[in-house]
């Protein structure tokens, strides 16, 4: 099963943390830091696999993708296929890209709640739920509609979120 | 404006982003937390909308790594909100913040259930998602049926059904009691699913069910092959599930994974169909430009390779696989090369292909120099796995060369692996010595003590090797800069064998002394100790005596006579005293005797270090298959009794200790232990398989020589007799003193005995607690299986280090303890699962030897684990007829035992019934017509017998509650007896008086104290 999904930026700031086996916050923080320490030391153009035994315990594996200012990291056990996990990261990224129209770090920072919604449509309790980003998008749009119709919530559009950024 | 919804949240996020440093961030977060806390506390009528906003903020703060220890109630309460947005937040945040056992969750079970069985699909999805993420046993009990219904319902949308499938998977994992009878047919229907989204989830559920019980799902096997055929031919696959032109790679991969749980495929048609699919995958996958397409295609390919290997395909297909892998280990694309190396390692298990793999050796060695450490590791693993007598020299020399440039993170592993290969496959012994000495020379910092102990063992046991090793040691001493480990091993070897070099130039005792003594000022105390022993040995070999050398050495001994380190001080004093004994010196300091044969501590260590995954077990299995035929430490130790005490080498003990050890010996001998040379040798090591938990656990114990504890003799008799097998290694190194022994200054803050007794009657609670650590326990019992999780909670703000947990299992329990991390980080809780299998009835108790270090204080504690006989009981109700039929058929001892108990704790009948219930005995009212009597029934589970019915009858005297008569019957006399004794303990004894675990201060002077030893001789012996 998938143990954790971590999205963080290249400075090591967590942008989305989801652990499918409960970890207390200090532990989450520590794990994120250890992952960052490993990833930040890796050059470009190397494999996307890292042994995670030392961080997450025996038998765990980690795949990651480094895109612009973000690391997308999936941690999982030996029941999953590494390349399939790498593909799943791609599905997540493609979905985000369609959702936010050329996703960038700011989108993720200000819409971290929406990130949870999207992730929940792709991974469910550590298992792969949906691999078609069209389908994920449909489900997420449905949820957004529901949110809008019941109250005045909406997501922060990029033009506005930019104002808050540095 | 768009922001009106969650303006506060956005403002807060950008405030945090704008903080210049961590301190500012903390201030801002604290301010916000304070604000939220006040709002939650004071504004009783907070709107759902406001609550939602605060709860999102909490989640954000939580993600930043701050503890949010309040507001959980508010998050949970949002689940009951009527509107979607609030409900959604409630569900999402709850699944992130709470654990499955959180008490608040219990309060919303009903709401969750209503959402699941309700008509609103979006609510169903939310509820399923939360349950699928954090649902525990209680959710499982109340929701499993409803979730099953959703999964098979024809009226539900795929969106709901796919979530129901995975939710069910979670509930099933949390509670294996979930009724899945008849699921094989249902599963088979589910695998016909046309919607690929639902099929993805169903396949994950299927994998989980099959991994648990493959027998029940044979009927699904052809369905899996059908799915692969459908996807392989791209039939009926909608565009949205085609990924770069490949029909759902995930389902293909998962299906092939599922097939690997079936031991074989017997039906020839199915097998043929599957192999056609596999063949097409093997042939039709090429490395292409598009990275994502490449990944997807190769995900399928690698899974197909694994399946082919699993199915033990014909040789032709296997060779095809190896050829493909050979191609992959040479490609540039790093991911493919990584997996190529990994899968080739897995291929090592397949017979007949080793030679083809070996032909790629040069290519693999190139990957050992790849810029990516992940790839280097895989290459190292593969080289390690493929090494045998034919290529050992090449590979080991390659590893040695690589050692110079390898990154620090890998050096220790590299050194260990090189040492193991050298040991296992050495074409000749002198080569082995060369390799190890080179290793120490090049990477001394990364060579663990075990490695040099091992080379000393070999040299000691092989006389032919001794002059060579001594010469080599002498050569290395010429080097101007020498690693300290090299000083140790050289000094040790030259101390033992300097006389073998006597005729060579530069090798007189005096010259050897001088060259060794040059190192003395630069080394640490542990090496000084070895050097002193070496000097004593040089002195002993010095014939005719050279007065000047004697004077020099004596002056050094004198200098250390008052040295601050007790170990060194003691050696100096004793060697001086020995020197005055004249001829006796020769006896006392004679060469070390040969070491008894045993499994290499290195191999053991490597096994422990190896990761416990299916993939890597390939290497381990292979390393077990290949016995080290090249080098064997021969066991030529003299028979017991023929060895005079005076040949003890440097291991000596004062007479008082001798007596103590003799006493000890008598108690050990009963357990099949003999002792000689101050070392306890296990007589039955062959009975212990290499993977045996004892062996693995004892490895580190012996190596570390961790400070042991004093166990009062009566304690030992009471608790440890059955487990004493495990203690001799700790007790083995009988020695004079220890350098780092410290008495326990830390006392438990709970009554350990009481805790144990409580935990015997319930399944979770605190087992032990002191000012630094709390050890909690949570147990689940299923027939003869037990599953205990130890929760090690560090209460401090600094880490607990050197954490060790060793289990001394009694003979009637099979146990497996997962790895215990060496460090418990500050304020963190670590979980250590522990599996039990009950073999037979016994009242013996498993003991957990737990130790950790806080600051400089070593804390050591023995804790009894509540895996007691009554945990393997399952209450059962029987009718009066059944009862009496059984009761009559079991007539008299030893199957039926009766005893009158006096001095019973006065208990009313309901109280006694409660006690029985907590002991897993079902009280069956109405069978006995006498209201003062109690009938209870239960079934006992063990691996060999499965369920054994036990009948219990208690007759009480209403006028005198302190006495009663108890009768117990079962078909197993041992069980009858053990159960009677166990129940008696509860009825008669006041449990708190039974001594259980002690936190015993380590007292080096106590007669029965086994003490860690710092002498290399004894440590080597300890290794054996």
Handedness of CA B700, B702, B707, B711 (dihedral sign): positive
pLDDT exceeds 70 at position B44: yes
Mutate to test the interface with A, among B9, B12, B14 (most CBs of A within 10 A): B14
**Shortest Cα–Cα distance, B82 to chain A (Å):** 10
Q: Count other Cβ atoms within 10 Å, centred on residue B650.
A: 24
- Give pLDDT tens digits for B149-166: 999 888 889 999 999 999
What is the average pLDDT across B753-760? 84
Q: Which segments of B137-263 does DSSP mark as H helices, in order? A: 137-152, 158-174, 183-190, 196-212, 221-232, 249-259
Whether B159 sits inside 8 A of A139 (CB atoms) is: yes
Q: Is residue A161 one of the residues assigned to a domain?
A: no
- Give pLDDT tens digits for B905-923: 888 888 888 888 888 888 8
ipTM of the complex: 0.89
**Shortest Cα–Cα distance, B764 to chain A (Å):** 18
Dihedral Cα B550, B555, B557, B559, nearest 10 deg: -170
Whether B59 sits inside 8 A of A113 (CB atoms) is: yes
Whether A156 sits inside 8 A of B88 (CB atoms) is: no
- Is there a cis peptide before residue B544, judged by omega within 30 degrees of 0? yes
pLDDT exceeds 80 at position B6: no
Q: What is the pLDDT of residue A17?
A: 92
Whether B170 sits inside 8 A of A125 (CB atoms) is: yes
Asked if A162 has any chain B CB less than 8 Å from its own CB, the reply is no
- Give pLDDT tens digits for A29-87: 899 999 999 999 898 889 999 988 889 988 899 999 999 899 999 999 988 999 999 99
Q: Is residue A39 one of the residues assigned to a domain?
A: yes
pLDDT exceeds 50 at position B288: yes
Cα–Cα distance for residue pair B413/B419, rounded to 1 Å = 10
Contact B575, B536 (CB under 8 A): yes
For residue B1024 the two structure tokens come to 């054996």
DSSP B827: T
**Shortest Cα–Cα distance, B813 to chain A (Å):** 25
Q: Is residue A22 one of the residues assigned to a domain?
A: yes
Q: Is residue A61 one of the residues assigned to a domain?
A: yes
Which of B245-254, B458-467, B487-496, B693-702 is least confident?
B693-702
Cα–Cα distance for residue pair B239/B236, rounded to 1 Å = 9
Whether B371 sits inside 8 A of A156 (CB atoms) is: no
Asked if A120 has any chain B CB less than 8 Å from its own CB, the reply is yes
What is the average pLDDT across B377-398? 89
Q: Is residue A47 one of the residues assigned to a domain?
A: yes
Cα–Cα distance for residue pair B934/B953, rounded to 1 Å = 6
Q: What is the CATH number of the domain that holds A60?
A: 3.30.450.60
Q: Is residue A9 one of the residues assigned to a domain?
A: yes
Cα–Cα distance for residue pair B85/B70, rounded to 1 Å = 22
For residue B675 the two structure tokens come to 């002792």
Q: Is residue A158 one of the residues assigned to a domain?
A: no
Give the Å distances, CA to CA, from B15 to A8, A17, A55, B310, B904. 19, 20, 32, 56, 69
Query: What percent of the residues of chain B are helix, what percent strand, and what percent coil, each to the nearest 5?
Result: 55, 10, 30
Contact B252, B228 (CB under 8 A): yes
Whether A26 sits inside 8 A of B826 (CB atoms) is: yes
Whether A32 sits inside 8 A of B5 (CB atoms) is: no
Greater pLDDT, B738 or B377? B377
Which residues constitute the domain of residue A86?
A: 2-152
What is the average pLDDT across B266-270? 91
Return the residue matching tokens 């007759």. Answer: B955
Closest Cβ–Cβ partner in A18, A128, A157 for B204: A128
Q: Which segments of B1-47 does DSSP mark as H helices, in order? A: 7-18, 22-42
Greater pLDDT, B751 or B682? B751
A55: closest chain B residue by CA:
B821
Give the Å distances, CA to CA, from B331 to A42, B340, B402. 20, 9, 22
Q: Which chain A residues are within 8 Å of B157, Cβ to Cβ?
A: none
| Closest C-alpha to A6, from A95, A34, A17 | A17
Which of B108-112, B446-450, B677-681, B996-1000 is least confident?
B677-681
**Shortest Cα–Cα distance, B239 to chain A (Å):** 9
For residue B591 the two structure tokens come to 């060469």
Q: What is the pLDDT of residue B960?
A: 82
Whether A153 sits inside 8 A of B169 (CB atoms) is: no
Share of chain B above pLDDT 90, in %: 17
Contact B337, B328 (CB under 8 A): yes
Closest Cβ–Cβ partner in B11, B67, B129 for A120: B129
Q: What is the pLDDT of residue B696?
A: 36
Residue B588: alpha-carbon gap to chain centroid: 42
pLDDT exceeds 80 at position A21: yes
Whether B2 sits inside 8 A of A160 (CB atoms) is: yes
B6: closest chain A residue by CA:
A153
Q: What is the pLDDT of residue B416?
A: 86
What is the average pLDDT across B74-97? 89
- Give pLDDT tens digits for B659-697: 333 344 434 344 444 334 433 333 333 333 333 333 333
Mutate to test the interface with A, among B5, B70, B92 (most CBs of A within 10 A): B5
A51: closest chain B residue by CA:
B374
* Cα Rg, chain B, nearest whole Å: 34
Cα–Cα distance for residue pair B109/B127, rounded to 1 Å = 10
Q: What is the pLDDT of residue A152?
A: 44
Asked if A54 has any chain B CB less than 8 Å from its own CB, the reply is no
Q: Count other Cβ atoms within 10 Å, centred on residue A85.
A: 25
Whether B302 sits inside 8 A of A45 (CB atoms) is: no
- Give pLDDT tens digits for B249-260: 999 999 999 999
Q: What is the pLDDT of residue A123?
A: 95
Question: Domain total for chain A?
Answer: 1
B42 burial (CB, 10 Å; 0-12 / 13-18 / 19+) is exposed
Closest Cβ–Cβ partner in A24, A83, A129 for B163: A129
Cα–Cα distance for residue pair B768/B773, rounded to 1 Å = 8
Q: Which chain A residues are within 8 Å of B606, Cβ to Cβ?
A: none
What is the average pLDDT across A99-121? 90
Q: Is residue A86 one of the residues assigned to a domain?
A: yes
Closest Cβ–Cβ partner in A79, A86, A116 for B295: A86
Q: How many residue contacts between A and B have a Cβ separation below 8 Å?
A: 212
Contacts 24+ apart (CB under 8 A), B469-474: B469/B433, B469/B493, B469/B497, B470/B494, B470/B496, B470/B497, B470/B498, B470/B500, B470/B501, B471/B501, B471/B504, B472/B433, B472/B434, B472/B437, B473/B437, B474/B501, B474/B506, B474/B507, B474/B512, B474/B515
Dihedral Cα B498, B503, B505, B510, nearest 10 deg: 50
Q: Which chain B residues are within 8 Å of A128, Cβ to Cβ?
A: 200-201, 204, 250, 254
């Amino acid at each position: 099963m998938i143990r954790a999904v971590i999205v963080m930026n290249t400075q090591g700031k967590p942008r989305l943390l989801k652990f499918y086996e409960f970890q207390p916050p200090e532990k989450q923080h520590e794990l994120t830091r250890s992952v960052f320490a490993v990833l930040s030391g890796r050059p470009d153009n190397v494999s996307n696999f890292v042994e995670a035994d030392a961080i997450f315990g025996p038998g765990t594996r980690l795949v990651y993708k480094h895109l612009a200012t973000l690391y997308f990291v999936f941690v999982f056990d030996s029941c999953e296929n590494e390349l399939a996990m790498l593909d799943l990261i791609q599905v997540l990224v493609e979905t985000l890209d369609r959702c936010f129209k050329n996703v960038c770090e700011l989108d993720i920072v200000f819409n971290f709640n929406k990130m949870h919604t999207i992730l929940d449509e792709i991974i469910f309790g550590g298992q792969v739920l949906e691999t078609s980003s069209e389908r994920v998008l449909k489900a997420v749009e449905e949820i957004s509609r529901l949110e809008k119709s019941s109250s005045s919530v909406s997501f922060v559009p990029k033009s506005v979120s930019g104002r808050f950024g540095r | 404006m768009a922001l009106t919804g969650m303006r506060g949240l956005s403002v807060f996020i950008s405030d945090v982003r704008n903080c210049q440093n961590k301190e500012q961030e903390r201030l801002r977060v604290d301010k916000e937390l304070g604000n939220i806390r006040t709002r939650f506390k004071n504004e009783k009528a907070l709107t759902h909308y406001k609550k939602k906003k605060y709860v999102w903020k909490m989640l954000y703060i939580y993600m930043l790594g701050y503890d949010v220890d309040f507001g959980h109630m508010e998050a949970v309460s949002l689940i009951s909100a009527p509107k979607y947005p609030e409900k959604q937040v409630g569900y999402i945040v709850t699944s992130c913040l709470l654990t499955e056992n959180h008490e608040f969750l219990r309060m919303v079970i009903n709401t969750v259930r209503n959402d699941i069985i309700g008509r609103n699909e979006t609510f169903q999805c939310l509820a399923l998602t939360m349950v699928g993420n954090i649902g525990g046993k209680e959710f499982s009990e109340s929701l499993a049926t409803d979730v099953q219904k959703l999964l098979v319902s024809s009226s539900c949308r795929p969106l709901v059904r796919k979530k129901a499938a995975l939710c069910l998977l979670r509930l099933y994992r949390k509670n294996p009691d979930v009724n899945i009878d008849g699921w094989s047919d249902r599963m088979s229907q589910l695998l016909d699913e046309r919607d690929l989204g639902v099929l993805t989830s169903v396949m994950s559920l299927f994998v989980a069910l099959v991994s648990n019980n493959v027998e029940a799902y044979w009927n699904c096997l052809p369905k899996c092959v059908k799915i692969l055929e459908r996807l392989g031919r791209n039939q009926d696959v909608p565009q949205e599930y085609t990924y770069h032109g490949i029909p759902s790679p995930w389902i293909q991969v998962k299906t092939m994974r599922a097939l690997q749980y079936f031991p074989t495929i017997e039906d020839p048609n199915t097998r043929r169909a599957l192999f056609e699919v596999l063949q097409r995958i093997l042939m039709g996958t090429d490395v292409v430009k598009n990275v994502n397409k490449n990944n997807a295609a190769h995900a399928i390919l690698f899974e197909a390779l694994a399946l082919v290997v699993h199915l033990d395909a014909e040789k032709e297909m296997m060779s095809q696989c190896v050829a493909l892998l050979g191609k992959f280990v040479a490609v540039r694309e790093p991911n493919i090369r990584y997996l190529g190396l990994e899968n080739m390692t897995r291929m090592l298990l397949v017979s007949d292909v080793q030679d083809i793999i070996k032909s790629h050796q040069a290519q693999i060695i190139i990957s050992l120099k790849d810029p990516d450490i992940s790839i280097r590791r895989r290459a190292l693993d593969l080289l390690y796995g493929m090494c045998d007598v034919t290529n050992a020299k090449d590979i080991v020399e390659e590893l040695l060369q690589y050692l110079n440039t390898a990154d620090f993170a890998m050096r220790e592993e590299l050194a260990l692996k090189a040492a193991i290969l050298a040991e296992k496959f050495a074409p000749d012994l002198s080569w082995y010595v060369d390799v190890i000495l080179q290793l120490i020379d090049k990477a001394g910092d990364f060579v663990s003590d075990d490695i040099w102990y091992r080379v000393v063992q070999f040299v000691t046991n092989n006389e032919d090797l001794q002059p060579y090793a001594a010469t080599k040691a002498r050569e290395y001493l010429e080097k101007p800069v020498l690693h300290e480990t090299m000083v140790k091993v050289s000094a040790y070897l030259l101390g033992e064998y300097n006389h073998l070099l006597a005729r060579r130039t530069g090798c007189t005792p005096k010259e050897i002394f001088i060259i060794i003594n040059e190192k003395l000022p630069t080394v640490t105390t542990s090496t000084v100790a070895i050097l002193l022993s070496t000097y004593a040995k040089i002195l002993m070999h010095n014939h005719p005596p050279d007065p000047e050398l004697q004077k020099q050495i004596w002056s050094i001994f004198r200098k250390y006579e008052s040295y601050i380190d007790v170990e060194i001080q003691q050696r100096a004093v004793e060697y001086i005293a020995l020197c005055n004994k004249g001829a006796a010196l020769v006896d006392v300091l004679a060469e070390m005797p040969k070491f008894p044969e045993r499994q290499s501590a290195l191999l053991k260590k490597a096994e422990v270090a190896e990761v416990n995954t299916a993939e890597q077990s390939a290497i381990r299995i292979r390393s077990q298959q290949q016995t080290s035929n090249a080098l064997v430490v021969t066991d030529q130790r003299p028979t017991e009794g023929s060895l005079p005490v005076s040949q003890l080498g440097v291991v000596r003990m004062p007479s008082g200790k001798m007596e103590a050890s003799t006493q000890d010996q008598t108690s050990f001998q009963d357990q099949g232990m003999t002792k000689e040379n101050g070392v306890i040798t296990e007589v039955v090591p062959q009975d212990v398989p290499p993977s045996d938990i004892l062996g693995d656990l004892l490895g580190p114990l012996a190596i570390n020589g961790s400070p042991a504890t004093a166990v009062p003799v009566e304690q030992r008799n009471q608790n440890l007799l059955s487990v004493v097998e495990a203690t001799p290694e700790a007790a083995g190194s009988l020695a004079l003193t220890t350098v780092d022994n410290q008495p326990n200054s830390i006392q438990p803050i709970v009554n350990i005995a009481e805790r144990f007794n409580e935990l015997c009657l319930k399944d979770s609670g605190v087992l032990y607690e002191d000012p630094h650590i709390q050890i909690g326990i949570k147990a689940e019992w299923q027939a003869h299986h037990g599953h205990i999780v130890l929760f090690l909670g560090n209460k401090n703000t600094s880490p607990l280090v050197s954490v060790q947990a060793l289990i001394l299992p009694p003979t009637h329990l099979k146990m497996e303890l997962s790895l215990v991390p060496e460090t418990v980080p500050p304020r963190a809780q670590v979980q250590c699962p522990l599996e039990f299998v009950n073999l037979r009835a016994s009242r013996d108790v498993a003991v957990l030897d737990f130790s950790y270090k806080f600051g400089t204080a070593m804390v050591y504690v023995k804790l009894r684990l509540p895996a007691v006989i009554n945990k393997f009981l399952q209450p059962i109700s029987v009718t009066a007829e059944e009862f009496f039929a059984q009761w009559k058929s079991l007539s008299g001892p030893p199957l039926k035992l009766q005893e009158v108990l006096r001095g019973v704790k006065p208990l009313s009948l309901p109280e006694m019934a409660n006690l029985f219930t907590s002991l897993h005995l079902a009280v069956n009212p109405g069978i006995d017509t006498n209201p003062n009597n109690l009938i209870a029934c239960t079934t006992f589970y063990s691996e060999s017998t499965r369920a054994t019915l036990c009948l219990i009858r208690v007759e009480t005297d209403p006028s005198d509650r302190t006495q009663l008569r108890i009768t117990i019957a079962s078909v197993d006399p041992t069980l009858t007896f053990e159960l009677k004794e166990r129940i008696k303990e509860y009825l008669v004894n006041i449990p708190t008086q039974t001594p259980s675990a002690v936190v015993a201060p380590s007292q080096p002077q106590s007669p029965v104290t086994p003490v860690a030893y710092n002498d290399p001789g004894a440590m080597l012996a300890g290794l054996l």
